[in-house]
Amino acid sequence: MVPTPLVAASHQRPLVSGDRVFSVIAYGAAALIMLIAVIFIIALFIPALPAITKFGLGFFTSRTWDPVRNQFGALTAIYGTLVTSAIALLIAFPIGLGAALFLAEDARLSLVRGPLSFLIELLAGIPSVVIGLWAFFILTPLMRDKVDPFLQHTVGFLALFKGTPTGYGFLTAGLVLAIMVLPIMIALSRDVIRAVPRELREASLALGATNAETIWSVILPYARVGITGAVLLSLGRALGETIAVTMVIGNTMQISASLFASGYTLPSVIANEFTEATGNVYLGSLFYLGVVLVLITIVVNVLARLLIWRFSGSARASA
């Protein structure tokens, strides 16, 4: 009995210094991340300066992109980025949520669940250039010959579906992005739906609610913060995706109401033009596009935070 405190004491000192070493490493790692972020933003701003000083905030509203006359503006590419990402989310949100509910809630097909989850993770692991290749060779002809004509026949009266479909453009790019963000959407939503406490489901079912009613009025409200997070993470992925979009969007500097039209996105312009961009203003404008893209991503992240705070606040208030 006597040696016990002695042993504990002899173990305590190295533990304390170990703690210190660990905290130094942890603080160091945190500081390094901040340093990298700051250096990154500075490194993006400095080469962009020639364009920032020349075009200022007018860069955001100008539709001109003319390397011959050294006149540049980001509006067209911002439009393309937002439109393709919006299409991606409109497609991926309902499908992703449905699949997540199935995976998390439906116990009947528990044999399928494992392999299906594995397949979704596999889909997430496919490199975007491979998806781009598939889209370029398989999806674009399919869109031109089948999907686009079908849309024109059925909802062609809308301005969204006017013009001659070539298979390339906003709609195809949005669809490719939807395929790429689906795994994120499904995996994250599934996890937050699974995290809903069992008592809540049981209570709801015990009160006589059906499965659908339980999902609709208990599980989804409880999980909405996490689902919002999943949507915003998907959006982040869609905004920044480069190569697969470049292969199918048609790379045209134009703003068009028609989803069949070719367009351009911020990352695509950068990827296409930086190798041959000569001159400080031209190269600076490409970096400026990078700044714009980072700003959009930051805005999305801040929005995500605000939404999550609001939702979690109201969830607590109603609880």
Partner 1 sequence: MMSGARFVAAASSVLLLAACGGNTGVTNPSTGGPGVPTPPAASLTGAGATFPAPFYDAARFAYNQKFSQVTVNYQSIGSGAGIQQLIKKTVDFGASDVPMNASELASAGGSDKVVQIASTLGTESMAYNLAGVSNGQLRLTPKTIAGIFLGTIKNWNDPALAADNSGVSLPNQSITVVHRSDGSGTTYIFTDYLSTVSADWKTKVGKGKSVSWPVGQGAKGNEAVATTIKQTPGAIGYVELAYVLQTNMTQASLQNHDGNFVIPSPEGATAAASQFLAVNPSQFSIVDAPGKNSAPISGYSWLMLYTDQPDKTKGTALVDFLDWLVTDGQQYAANVHYARLPSNIVRDDINSLKTVTSGGSTLLSVPAPS
For residue 210, state whether it binds partner 1 (rule: CB under 8 A): no
Q: State the DSSP string of the chain.
A: -THHHHHHHHHHHHHHHHHHHHHHHHHHHHHHHHHHHHHHHHHHHHHHHHHHHHHGGGGGT---EETTTTEE--HHHHHHHHHHHHHHHHHHHHHHHHHHHHHHH--TTHHHHHHHHHHHHHHHHS-HHHHHHHIIIIIHHHIIIIIHHHHHHHHTTSGGG-S---S-SHHHHHHHHHHHHHHHHHHHHHHHHHTS-HHHHHHHHHTT--HHHHIIIIIHHHHHHHHHHHHHHHHHHHHH--HHHHHHS-------S-TTS----HHHHHHHHGGG--SHHHHHHHHHHHHHHHHHHHHHHHHHHHHHHHHHHHHHHH-
For residue 55, state whether it binds partner 1 (rule: CB under 8 A): no
For residue 65, state whether it binds partner 1 (rule: CB under 8 A): yes
* Distance (Å, whole) CA 291 – CA 19: 40
For residue 167, state whether it binds partner 1 (rule: CB under 8 A): yes
The correct pick among 166, 297, 301, 312 for binding partner 1 (CB under 8 A) is 166
For residue 140, state whether it binds partner 1 (rule: CB under 8 A): yes
**Candidate ranges 18-26, 133-141, 149-157, 288-296; the one touching partner 1 (CB under 8 A):** 133-141
Site map 145..164 versus partner 1, x via CB under 8 A: -------------------x
Closest CB to partner 1 among 96 and 290? Answer: 290
**Candidate ranges 38-46, 172-180, 186-194, 266-274; the one touching partner 1 (CB under 8 A):** 266-274
- Start-to-end CA distance of the chain, whole Å, equals 50
For residue 68, state whether it binds partner 1 (rule: CB under 8 A): yes
Kindly state the tokens that stand for 103: 């995976």
Decide if 217 contacts 200 (C-beta within 8 A): no
**Candidate ranges 51-59, 136-144, 219-227, 304-312; the one touching partner 1 (CB under 8 A):** 136-144
For residue 258, state whether it binds partner 1 (rule: CB under 8 A): no
For residue 199, state whether it binds partner 1 (rule: CB under 8 A): no
**Candidate ranges 15-23, 90-98, 208-216, 244-252; the one touching partner 1 (CB under 8 A):** 244-252
Q: How far is the CB of 239 from partner 1 (least distance, A)?
A: 19
**Candidate ranges 96-104, 110-118, 134-142, 301-309; the one touching partner 1 (CB under 8 A):** 134-142
Q: How far is the CB of 76 from partner 1 (least distance, A)?
A: 11
For residue 273, state whether it binds partner 1 (rule: CB under 8 A): yes
For residue 22, state whether it binds partner 1 (rule: CB under 8 A): no
The residue ranges that bind partner 1 (CB under 8 A) are 64-69, 136-137, 140-141, 144, 164, 166-169, 246-247, 250-253, 262, 268, 271-273, 275-279
